[in-house]
Amino acid sequence: MRTRPLKVALLGCGVVGSEVARIMTTHAADLAARIGAPVELAGVAVRRPDKVREGIPAELITTDATALVKRGDIDVVVELIGGIEPARSLITTAFEHGASVVSANKALLAQDGAGLHAIAEEQNKDLYYEAAVAGAIPLIRPLRESLAGDKVNRVLGIVNGTTNFILDKMDSTGAGYQEALDEASALGYAEADPTADVEGFDAAAKAAILAGIAFHTRVGLDDVYREGMTEVTAADFASAKGMGCTIKLLAICERAADGGSVTARVHPAMIPLAHPLASVRGAYNAVFVESDAAGQLMFYGPGAGGAPTASAVLGDLVAVCRNRISGATGPGASAYTQLPVSPMGEVVTRYHISLDVADKPGVLAQVATVFAEHGVSIDTVRQQGKDGEASLVVVTHHASDASLNGTVEALRSLDTVRGVASIMRVEGE
Ligand SMILES: NC(=O)c1ccc[n+]([C@@H]2O[C@H](COP(=O)([O-])OP(=O)(O)OC[C@H]3O[C@@H](n4cnc5c(N)ncnc54)[C@H](OP(=O)(O)O)[C@@H]3O)[C@@H](O)[C@H]2O)c1
């Protein structure tokens, strides 16, 4: 074993960073044995230097993160501050001063992964971020390394624990969205401002990262179609149950059937109870990967939390340290396919549509004609009538999002259609 330690700078010592520091200390001997050299915490950058940080020597704490990454003797910078700036500048400076980087920063990687990979490559350094997509769940390494000889066609995942907790509550208790969100907040599963989770921004960032890696192309944040789950109602769950389904907020990355383009999207969707993702409960995450040779794979586990996320960060740290010792770098960005990202209108899926209609003869035929005129074929229709009003639940065969939107627009203009109560995509069949 090499006796000179590898020096690690920790940027951020919050929920994840504090766990990384703890595990680095408690597992120091094992980490050294696995890496082939001891790993030394050389500095910890924070915002509030006076906060008590158990297990971290006070002399390691600094508020000058830039000076820490510029030291020149740092082997690996572990960025756990989050957000775009100063994280981006600190990572760039770290590369320029000879360090490799491990990060868990999905927002930054989704926004500027390509740029950061380019600098890493230029400087011949590693950029690893297993923790950025699904916490503890190994996903980036399996996609980038284990499946490097296969062809991935689809990645379908529950990548946000907060929203899965809320939807699971709604499903199991019949609660409405607000009630389930309040419970998630009380139990610490939802942030004070839950927008990033419930509006799908967090999942969209993860979808952008996953799609790029899975299909060896570049997928930006703006390429990801995004719909949150705040409009999902108890009535939607009742409809889903009637179809043998539940509702999940899914991140879906797909290669087109002709292989010439890809799509990435985040939205709530019905999935059959028999699908493995339907049984992912509480705040857990799971990602279902379909590839040519391997077939169907599922990755499951805790998608957030200090210790689980630190597990993924530590895995990256070990890999990067091993690379430092061997003088190599691991796999970088692979975007050689340069596949274009198609707009949402070209996505093809099935739909569950609830309409409030007048309860009189001929309405069903009128509605069916509108679907036919837009090339959307109906699979099943269920009608319930009461006091001159009726609800009509239509489930379609596969159709493009553009055709479905055209259908809904035309339905809204019919006198006999009082309103479109809900539109939900049906996935996983
Ligand atoms: N929490 C999770 O479950 C989870 C899961 C997956 C990925 N992630 C990602 O992990 C990263 C860290 O998340 P977290 O939950 O650990 O965040 P956090 O608890 O808010 O911790 C952030 C840390 O960064 C420090 N910091 C903030 N601004 C700084 C600055 N300008 N210079 C130096 N230090 C600064 C803070 O210092 P103070 O301690 O002094 O405030 C704090 O220690 C994020 O990218 C997040 O998306 C988190």
Residue 274 Cα to ligand 1 midpoint, Å, equals: 38
Ligand 1 contacts CB of residue 304 (under 6 A) = yes
Cα(234)–Cα(174) distance, rounded to whole angstroms?
6
Rounded-to-integer distance, Cα 180 and Cα 163, Å = 10
Separation of alpha carbons 236 and 227, rounded Å: 16
**Residue 19 has what pLDDT?**
98
State which of 10, 11, 15, 159 you would mutate to test the pocket of ligand 1, scoring each by most atoms of that ligand within 8 A of its C-beta.
15
Divide the 429 residues of the chain into consecutive groups of 10 and give the mean pLDDT of each group. Answer: 92 98 97 98 98 95 98 97 98 98 98 97 98 96 97 98 97 96 94 96 98 98 97 95 96 95 98 97 97 98 96 98 97 95 97 94 94 97 82 96 98 95 93
pLDDT at res. 389: 82
3-class secondary-structure state, position 384:
strand
Q: Is 326 left (phi over 0), alpha (psi -120 to 50) or beta?
A: alpha
The Å distance, Cα 11 to ligand 1 centre, comes to 8
Which residue puts its alpha carbon closest to atom 29 of ligand 1? Answer: 47
pLDDT for res 360: 87
The count of C-alpha atoms lying within 13 angstroms of the C-alpha of 149, restricted to the half-sphere facing its C-beta, is: 3
Can you list the domains of the chain with their CATH numbers? 6-134+306-326 (3.40.50.720), 140-302 (3.30.360.10), 345-426 (3.30.70.260)
Measure the CA–CA gap between 323 and 416, rounded to whole angstroms: 67
* Phi, psi (deg, nearest 5) at residue 356: -95, 120
CA of 80 to the centre of ligand 1 (A): 5
Does ligand 1 have an atom closer than 6 angstroms to the CB of 169? no
Give the separation between CA 210 and CA 164, rounded to whole angstroms: 19
Q: Quickly count: other Cβ atoms within 10 Å of residue 420's Cβ.
A: 14
Q: Is 307 in the pocket of ligand 1 (CB under 6 A)?
A: no
Judging by beta carbons within 10 Å of its beta carbon (0-12, 13-18, 19+), is residue 139 exposed, middle or buried?
Answer: buried
Pocket flag, ligand 1, residue 276 (CB < 6 Å): no
Residue with the smallest CA separation from ligand 1 atom 19 is 14
Compute φ and ψ for 330, nearest 5 degrees: -80, -175
The DSSP call for residue 429 is -
Question: Does ligand 1 come within 6 angstroms of the Cβ of 48?
Answer: yes
Does ligand 1 lie within 6 Å of residue 83's CB atom? no
Distance 203 CA to ligand 1 centre (A): 18
Residue 222, token pair as written in the block: 């703006």
The preferred substitution site among 10, 11, 13, 16 for testing ligand 1, maximizing ligand atoms within 8 Å of CB, is 16
DSSP 151: -
Q: What is the CA radius of gyration of the chain?
A: 24
Report CA(46)–ligand 1 centroid distance (Å): 9
Which two tokens mark 200? 């799908």
List strand residue ranges (DSSP E) for 46-180, in order.
61-62, 76-79, 100-103, 127-128, 152-158
Beta carbon of 104 within 6 Å of any ligand 1 atom: yes
* Ligand 1 pocket check for 305: Cβ under 6 Å: yes
Tell me the torsion sign for CA atoms 218, 199, 299, 330.
positive
Active site residues: 206
Tell me which of 13, 62, 64, 81 to substitute to probe ligand 1's pocket, judged by most ligand atoms within 8 Å of the beta carbon.
Answer: 81
The SS3 of residue 223 is helix
Number of CB atoms found within 10 A of residue 333's CB: 18
pTM over 0.85: yes
Q: Which atom of ligand 1 is nearest to the CA of 86?
A: 31
Diameter of the chain by CA atoms? 86
Q: Is 61 in the pocket of ligand 1 (CB under 6 A)?
A: no
Q: Is 17 in the pocket of ligand 1 (CB under 6 A)?
A: yes
Would you state the structure tokens that stand for residue 172, as one six-digit string?
Answer: 């199991």
Q: What spacing in Å lies between the alpha carbon of 14 and ligand 1's midpoint?
A: 5
- Out of 13, 50, 80, mutate this one to test ligand 1's pocket (max ligand atoms within 8 Å of CB): namely 80
